[in-house]
Structure 1
């Protein structure tokens, strides 16, 4: 504040008078000094610009912010604003387009897709941190090599390791196995053929499997964002979840676990200018806003405040009270109020709010633990049990009631907007046929053997399904449908309620019999959905622990092919095996609507960009007028 005060002539005069008064007596000087302090604060308050803060909420709690240890959407959303991968998706471009981020240009890729060479821009710096000993720390190619290696460290138990092992980065899996067998810590200094440091800013990745779409992984900053080794060593592998330090537009300013997350602008963030191009058929308002923002320095929003509000009603009311600037994914029970018949409600439109409606590239499902003695296994009677349970799930009623019409039935494992998804594809995945389900259980001996009204296992032991769930209203409504479906089938079901992070931990450890969640693509390709059944991804993407050799073979074959009819056919063959063995009951693809307050400028939903905050501006004058009402 002092430099600003010295620019004001009145302040200079006051300071001269204070010197004179100090000669007359301490008491009077102290009084005028206090007066001067108040005056200086007033001048500073009048000249300072208000911090542009974006406020919104998560409906599920985060787990931490280390890219090598996180897999949940909410933790990855925060991490995406802190860390940076070499590439990124353009915010407004449709169809989705990759572009350089920290990379100086798009990588050089060999014709067989087995070699990728990245050159990083010089002059990019990490956010300041005590780990750097008071020095500015530049991003180098070695940081990306180190960050990739961290996923192979057994101590971190990366849930995304399968994405790297699928393409076989030369030497890394072998190094991991060698050190695990010898019970030694991971050797980050050991050079491997698959990760080559060519110079300070250039690194090369060499693969055993040429995957035409592996490049997409280098746009996921919450997965392959650069981590500085000295930060990890300074805080330790356990504490690093609490101390994310990256080169991105934001840094972590405050974290109250499962309650509040605050991000603030990274002072070291380089000069990046807004240059987003909406498609020709975009909303005219969005087009005008993007044109207005062109050339502005990023991030446009200086501070992001995220509240964890698990219940839908408080999230909805918070937005209506203008306590949130954006409401991502309007809760299904309020969509008809916010956007009746798909159009923004007149009262909200009158206020100047905007809505964005979109299908998510995701699948919502309940998985069966294939290693569980009750619902798991590959023998005919176990397959019959899972298929019967699937046939008893009334998806139409699920869409009408708990999902309030904001979903479409899923026919297979591929999410909308990704290669592999076909809107015209039909399968048994969405079939509801209670008589058929009962007949299937009768055929394989799942009948009531003790006369208590509930079906038993073929060996006469009680058949009890345990289903994990969360304490929020949406989960409660969904399990009510499961209860009714299973009651109609004559199958006893019990629900185990825990917070989402606790369920995730149990799921990764293979301790849950069943759990209902969703899986979202991070790139416009269906491979991530097929990975749900890949045997090598058990405990990672593959929460069901499904491991069928025929499926695994198809999964690997399709990865090698460019997009086209041949790859589509292989993907559909794999999907049919998943449907036949039913490790997942995939129910719906959800439809979502986002709302933005009138003072939020440039908001749109790119489903492959988590940290939209940097591209959004806040009209502080309009916000102040609203707050003054």
Structure 2
């Protein structure tokens, strides 16, 4: 058989999963990225010590590369983890043709990378707060002496006890440090040093997939990692979860990953993305809001789609959308009363009910605070001013604090200078709908708007650098604990998770206290105080929690939307014969 014929034969039998992202990725170095799309790809290439059961709800933590659960001692100040021997990185030239085993030193090195000033990691602030003894001092030494970060220097709180045993020692009690152990990946130092600034294009992990073709903001291909260890499908769905039990019965015992390739197309516009799904070119899709009435009328799958064997799932997402205000911007930022009044007036002038009805087609619920559903600290029945639409009160606030209308009808700053809200946005159709609603809301208040249009990855980069005034975005929970969401208000996280660059000592104190407390009434009271401060100063206007309506093709088996974890593609199966028969 010729080489081309052999390739055609493999293509005819391989299992291909086809998906789409609605925005472009930024790269594939987990230490440097902060966007959902890049992190999702990384989660299938790299592996953390712990992960989550694919079917258990609300969640169940399980070892991934660890050999058993960690040993926590000294009131959760010392955590010891044993890594399972015999796990190997994917082949790469960085290893000189030799198989490279994953060791405890790889996780120690990876954790240190978040502290290396060179990488400007958005994850640094949250990991710093875990209080690993001696690690931040190593970072400060590099900054002070203007020398490279010393990865070989001993660190009291991060010790490799032997080839497969890693130990963390923390300054304070951290009852939920287990979630951190499920956050950071195992990376090989040789790979980082070989590729340097090009590392984001060369992800090399121990996970089920490796990066194949990559056309930036266009196509991402993942291929089965040929060296991935023997692992079969296992899960623990709830006893009363009929859907989960059926998935387990269909897939139990299959070797992972089940599919051979994953192709992710970047399709920013909703209409072509939805048509690609309807035409059988995508295996899975969230239903865009503008097509909800046709696809899922009154919450029921449309007969024509049901006849084709499509399946529907609806869930309220573990997410929140928000409008970010740059707290360092001279017009919109700061803690002065008139600046707070301007942001709160904007918040009161945002018509969330209309956004949900008109733009989102009913596929969202108003957010009362910044915590995501399904996470600790979220209160389902909470009602706050955050969701109020009160243009009369907004007008009164602006008048009271000196934002008077000029002869042209637009409001001016209290010092008499012109006032224009510069709002970052994207060029796709759904963004244009949000922009139209924003302009209508702000016009009613007499606030002039200018839109700054750009690609989503570039807007994120500008936001992290503090170069945007206002931007609308969403955030998904990455762990079961709501404190992760509150990091967007934590001062030391400015430029990372804290895109608004909000800095308030009172908030930072509350944030630090809740990290050391066990779950319970005292910690929940701190969550409420943190929410109160964010709503009072309004570095963000929290908008909605989105309802996800997912449709899958009849040939796809195993899909169940994750609550907050990102890896799932290795658990999905595609019946290629059935797909082919469907044309």
Following superposition of structure 1 onto structure 2, how do residues 63-78 of structure 1 map, counting pairs within 5 Å? 63-78=26-41
Following superposition of structure 1 onto structure 2, how do residues 63-212 of structure 1 map, counting pairs within 5 Å? 63-212=26-175
- Cα 1:47/1:399, change in 2 over 3 Å: closer
Shift of 1:190: 0.9
Among 554, 564, 572, the alignment partner of 2:520 is 564
Structure 2, unmatched stretches of 5+, are none
- Deviation digits for residues 354-398 of structure 1 (CA, Å, limit 9, x no counterpart): 111111111100011111100111111111111111111111001
Which residue does 2:232 correspond to in 1? 273
Shift of 1:513: 0.6
Matched, 1:445 2:402: yes
Which residue does 1:4 correspond to in 2? none
Shift of 1:349: 1.2
Among 383, 400, 412, the alignment partner of 2:340 is 383
- Deviation digits for residues 533-588 of structure 1 (CA, Å, limit 9, x no counterpart): 11111111111111111111111111111111111111101110110111110011
Which residue does 2:392 correspond to in 1? 435
RMSD: 1.5
Shift of 1:41: 5.0
Distance 1:46 1:508 in 2: 47
Following superposition of structure 1 onto structure 2, how do residues 313-328 of structure 1 map, counting pairs within 5 Å? 313-327=271-285
- Which shows bigger deviation, 108-117 or 97-106? 108-117
Distance 2:300 2:60 in 1: 29
Which residue does 1:241 correspond to in 2? 200
Which residue does 2:187 correspond to in 1? 227
| Preserved CA contact (<8 Å) 2:159 2:168 | yes
| Preserved CA contact (<8 Å) 2:318 2:564 | no
- Off by >3 Å, runs of 4+ in structure 1: 44-49
Which residue does 1:16 correspond to in 2? none
Which residue does 2:307 correspond to in 1? 350
- Deviation digits for residues 188-239 of structure 1 (CA, Å, limit 9, x no counterpart): 111111110000000101111322122112223xxx1111000111111x10
Distance 2:193 2:8 in 1: 41
Structure 1, unmatched stretches of 5+, are 2-36
| Preserved CA contact (<8 Å) 1:89 1:608 | no
Q: Aligned to 1:54, what secondary structure does the other structure show?
A: strand
| Preserved CA contact (<8 Å) 2:479 2:565 | no
Distance 1:84 1:45 in 2: 32
Which residue does 1:490 correspond to in 2? 446
| Preserved CA contact (<8 Å) 1:394 1:485 | yes
| Preserved CA contact (<8 Å) 1:63 1:75 | yes
Among 230, 246, 250, the alignment partner of 1:292 is 250
Distance 1:133 1:318 in 2: 42
Larger radius of gyration: 1
Q: Aligned to 1:401, what secondary structure does the other structure show?
A: helix
Q: Aligned to 1:515, what secondary structure does the other structure show?
A: strand
- Deviation digits for residues 12-63 of structure 1 (CA, Å, limit 9, x no counterpart): xxxxxxxxxxxxxxxxxxxxxxxxx69x959x97799711110010000000
Q: Aligned to 2:118, what secondary structure does the other structure show?
A: coil
Shift of 1:65: 0.2
Q: TM-score, normalised by structure 1?
A: 0.91
- Cα 1:561/1:374, change in 2 over 3 Å: same
Distance 2:361 2:294 in 1: 11
Which residue does 1:535 correspond to in 2? 491
- Cα 1:148/1:346, change in 2 over 3 Å: same
Shift of 1:609: 2.8
